[in-house]
Amino acid sequence: MRKSALVLLLFSPFFSFSQDCDCVSKFKWVKETFEQNDAGFSHIINQKGTASYNNHTKLFLEKAQETNSNTACYELMRSWMTFFRKGHFGIRPLDQELSETIDNKEWETLNIDLEDFKTHLKNKKNKDYEGIWKSGPYVIGIKNINNEYKGFIIEANGSQWKKGEVKLVINPDNSSTYYMGDYSTQNFTNTELLGGKYLQLGFLTLEKTYPNATEDPVIERYYKSISSDSPYLERVNPNTLLLRIPSFDANQKQLIDSVLSVNHALITNTKNLLIDLRGNGGGSDRSFEEILPILYTGPIETVGVELFSTERNNERVKNFISHPNASPEFKEWATKTYDKLSKNQGEYVNVDSVRTTTTEFDTIYSYPKNVGIIVDGQNASSTEQFLLAAKQSTKVKLFGQTTFGALDISYTYPAKSPCGDFELIYCLSRSLRIPEMTIDDKGIHPDYYIYNEVPKYEWIEFAVQKLN
């Protein structure tokens, strides 16, 4: 079914852009481009109302007039877009050195003598957040200063962060602030020591490198799971296998398929399969194609999408036609799709002309008999699409916490700013589930909810007990 798009240029009928490249000009360009092209814009305006949107935008325009920092301007524009949804949008600086480093010349820096700090740590009796920790390219010292724990850079290989700069702060109430690679802020409501060896701030986990800490097998399994960049399979007990998939990125498909292929006989002869998807923010639907036959108990229905047709959006399909590596069949599809989109500008177009598609497989495996999938609040996009398919199997139960909720508005697409210093990321499609069965900002609920009182390193054991 095709629906006309109600796309209005709200708050102001027209913006002309100067090449001053100040925050106001950048904000106005983002606003107009988003209004005219984002597939989710009209849906939210219909839900929240024009007056609410105008008031929201007026507030941010006033803030933009007072913003001189590139980093602050990017954060302001990102915050403005949260009016529409939680994910599938962004502002991506194209000149990191210009947009970020200049803004951080006055960053808070601690002058800590490393050898004195190590001596202090060696002589400590109590266990707390103090120590030397590693996370990715960063080696971070954490020291108690005036009832706050401040994490300072010791090493930052390949990063623009400098020695001594404050990388994180843990507050007396255990909330914390972590500064990402581009100096943007991540705030977490809870900070947790996992045994004596690991420190968790939201979705980030740091490993202690000094002083040495005692290892716990349960925590070690958890850390291996959340720190792995690649999929793997391991046996938890005689009846249960654990399949860890940290990402569905397109470049992970071959690795996922390889793990499944090598272990196919083992998986299909073991009673329980537990799939750990924590932290998996999505990627490509193709990456989970080979998992579905293992879970399959009957036809899988997938709801389709509509593309929002505008001149800018249709350039994506037009470029497919001339792509040198595209097959003749794909070019034929792209030509027909572009023609259909071009004739319906300003509307949502169901290019496949069907609402749902059905996937069927020839085999229903006796084993695994039970399939558990561990989910959390970071699961989004293609991961949520996988869960919608997996939940249709009578074998499958979800364990954990509600997913992020970023699926209904999808197919992200970049638009380069007039000044060339950043890209706006917005979306081209909306799901035909709207409005009856929306996922955005709601997420997918697990069958077995795991409360915060259960430490994250015990989630695997929690699910294993239920499966057995």
Residue 402 belongs to a domain with what CATH number? 3.90.226.10
The pLDDT of residue 96: 53
Rounded Cα distance, 312 and 415, in Å: 9
**Same structural domain, 269 and 377:** yes
The pLDDT of residue 98: 42
Query: Taking all residues of the chain, what is their mean pLDDT, rounded to a whole number?
Result: 91
- Considering just the CA atoms, what is the radius of gyration of the chain in Å? 25
**Same structural domain, 251 and 381:** yes
Tokens of 166: 């404050």
**Same structural domain, 359 and 402:** yes
The least confident of 234-238, 256-260, 326-330 is 326-330
Question: Which structural domain range is residue 46 located in?
Answer: 1-93+415-427
Rounded Cα distance, 349 and 310, in Å: 11
**Same structural domain, 239 and 385:** yes
Residue 458 DSSP symbol? G
Please check the confidence at residue 331 and state whether its pLDDT lies above 80: yes
Q: What is the mean pLDDT of residues 195-209?
A: 89
In a domain, 298, yes or no: yes
Rounded Cα distance, 76 and 41, in Å: 18
The pLDDT of residue 100: 45
Residue 319 DSSP symbol? H
**Same structural domain, 208 and 243:** no
Please check the confidence at residue 171 and state whether its pLDDT lies above 90: yes
The least confident of 165-169, 224-228, 448-452 is 224-228
Q: What is the mean pLDDT of residues 75-93?
A: 93
Rounded Cα distance, 365 and 277, in Å: 22
In a domain, 109, yes or no: no
In a domain, 437, yes or no: no
**Same structural domain, 284 and 361:** yes
Please report, rounded to a whole number, the percentage of residues in the chain having pLDDT higher than 90.
Answer: 78
How many helices (H) and strands (E) the chain has is answered by 14, 22
**Same structural domain, 385 and 457:** yes
Higher pLDDT, 453 or 97: 453
The pLDDT of residue 374: 98
**Same structural domain, 236 and 380:** yes
Asked whether the beta carbons of 161 and 153 are under 8 A apart, the reply is yes
Tell me the residue length of the chain.
468
Kindly indicate the confidence band of residue 105, based on its pLDDT and cuts at 50, 70 and 90: low
Higher pLDDT, 9 or 369: 369
The pLDDT of residue 8: 35
Please check the confidence at residue 227 and state whether its pLDDT lies above 70: yes
Kindly indicate the confidence band of residue 70, based on its pLDDT and cuts at 50, 70 and 90: confident
Please check the confidence at residue 113 and state whether its pLDDT lies above 90: yes
**Same structural domain, 302 and 167:** no
Please check the confidence at residue 104 and state whether its pLDDT lies above 70: no
**Chain segment 132-164, per-residue pLDDT in tens:** 999 989 999 999 999 999 999 999 998 889 999
Please check the confidence at residue 5 and state whether its pLDDT lies above 70: no
The least confident of 17-26, 131-140, 330-339, 375-384 is 17-26
Please check the confidence at residue 17 and state whether its pLDDT lies above 50: no
**Same structural domain, 134 and 209:** yes
**How distant, in Å, are the alpha carbons of 33, 36, 274, 384 from that of 231?**
38, 40, 13, 18
Rounded Cα distance, 397 and 449, in Å: 11
**Chain segment 262-307, per-residue pLDDT in tens:** 999 999 999 999 999 999 999 999 999 999 999 999 999 999 999 9
List, as one string, the DSSP characters of 108-176. -B----HHHHHHHHHT--S-SS-EEEEETTEEEEEEEETTEEEEEEEEETTSS--TTBEEEEE-TTS-E
**Chain segment 350-407, per-residue pLDDT in tens:** 998 899 999 999 999 999 999 999 999 999 999 999 999 999 999 999 999 999 999 9
The pLDDT of residue 19: 52
How many structural domains is the chain composed of? 4
**Same structural domain, 387 and 274:** yes
The least confident of 64-73, 80-89, 92-101, 347-356 is 92-101
**Same structural domain, 273 and 401:** yes
Which amino acid type is present at position 339?
A: D
In a domain, 247, yes or no: yes
